[in-house]
Copies of this chain bind each other. A is one copy, B any other.
Amino acid sequence: MSHETFLTHAIDLALTHSADGRNGPFGAVVVRDKQIVGQGWNQVVSSHDPTAHAEVMAIRDAGKQLGTHQLKDCTLYTSCEPCAMCLAAIYWARIPTVYYACTMEDAGAAEFDDGVIYDELTQPWAKRRVAGVNLLRDQGQAVFKAWHKNPGRVQY
């Protein structure tokens, strides 16, 4: 099983699951030891879940299959270069390598303009389209203080 084989599987998922026009044309698989351990496709519209991108779904599936939130020894194959949400999810999952077919430019040309969100994330709140308001900071910090006093806490 080559990288091309796994990436083709991700592309096939994108094609198959978007055929009815409901799910966006994106697919992904997570692979460990040359075995597919997770797969996903865009289900944003069909499942009323804006976070249900192909990569996120594949990561969730792999975590469930393997019984862990850390996928350090896995590789992700995706039909399109990950958006900012999915790339951040890849970092949180500790996946070291991503193979992708379409580029972000291809996605933009296909009217999936992921570049805008990357740009927004680099801005301070004052320049973002989303407004951010900081309130009750002391009350929030008390949660972290309680966490650090908890001897049973799981670090990750």
Interface residues of A (CB under 8 A from B): 3-4, 7-8, 11, 14-15, 18-22, 24-25, 44-45, 47-53, 56, 59-60, 63-64, 66-71, 79-81, 83-85, 87-103, 106-107, 109-111, 116-118, 120-122, 129-137, 139-144, 146-148, 150-156
Q: A93-B50, A154-B22 are in contact. Are A140 and B84 (CB under 8 A)?
A: no
Q: A52: shortest Cβ distance to chain B, in Å?
A: 8
Q: A138: shortest Cβ distance to chain B, in Å?
A: 8
Q: Are A121 and B120 in contact (CB under 8 A)?
A: no
Complex contacts, A67 vs chain B, CB 8 Å: 48
A77 (CB) vs chain B CBs: closest residue: B135
Copies, count: 2
Q: Are A121 and B49 in contact (CB under 8 A)?
A: no
Q: Which of B92, B116, B135 contacts A85 (CB 8 A)?
A: B92
